[in-house]
Amino acid sequence: MSAIIGFVGLGQMGRPMAGHLAAAGHPLCVFDRAPQARAAITGTAGVRVAADALQVADECATVVLMLPDSRIVDALLWEEGLAARLKPGALLIDMGSSDPNRTRDNHGRLAGGGVALVDAPVSGGVRRALDASLAIMAGGLDADVGRARPLLEQLGRTVVHVGPPGAGQPSFFFAVWMPLAVTRPARRPMSSLRPPSPASAAPCAMAFAP
């Protein structure tokens, strides 16, 4: 029997993502603070709703977080005690849009307790969460991303290991990789460079919308 996978965050994207993992044969222990979110997934085959997020950490060696931002992730990990309940050897996969600096800090702190962290934010919105065609950019150590990849491939059409911890986060992408992409064609005269129109820039901005 497959190991139980933990999943915390059952919003518009999290619930179908959890459903895909269950449909692929992974037994799940899930939680969300919102009673309506817990009710919506109750009764799904292979899914058991936990009493709280700490129970998820107690019972699962792999835990997926699909939460809105670093503030909520950090509160769950360090104020509410999820990090302390994760056992050495556990894998935490943060699939929300978190701050890369805070993600790297969390990686270091969790590593001190023997817990691996992969940041794997997604692009594609609710529609692609529903049909498991998300684009997923993973940041983390090679071995950790390798452990996470089989689960991530159940959720997305494209899974790319883009670099070390924190590298998957959208703000890291725009801060580091986009300037490189802009400055790469240095042979073009500066007079030929024009800022993108709002219409042409929109798809790039939308690609990382939650």
CA distances to 55, 56, 87, 120 from 41, in Å: 17, 15, 26, 23
Question: What pTM value is reported for the model?
Answer: 0.82
Going residue by residue through the chain, which has 210 residues, state the pLDDT in tens, using 9 for 90 and above: 579 999 999 999 999 999 999 999 999 999 999 999 999 999 999 999 999 999 999 999 999 999 999 999 999 999 999 999 999 999 999 999 899 999 999 999 999 999 999 999 998 999 999 999 999 999 999 999 999 999 999 999 999 999 999 998 865 555 445 555 444 444 444 343 344 443 333 333 323 333
CATH code, residues 5-170: 3.40.50.720
Burial of 48 (0-12, 13-18, 19+ CB in 10 A): middle
3-state secondary structure of 8: strand
**143, two tokens:** 């071995």
DSSP type of residue 34: S
Question: Which pLDDT tens digit goes with each residue over 55-113?
Answer: 999 999 999 999 999 999 999 999 999 999 999 999 999 999 899 999 999 999 999 99
3-state SS, 129-196, equals HHCCCEEEEEECCHHHHHHHHHHHCCCEEEEEEEECCCCCCHHHHHHHHHHHHHHCCCCCCHHHCCCC
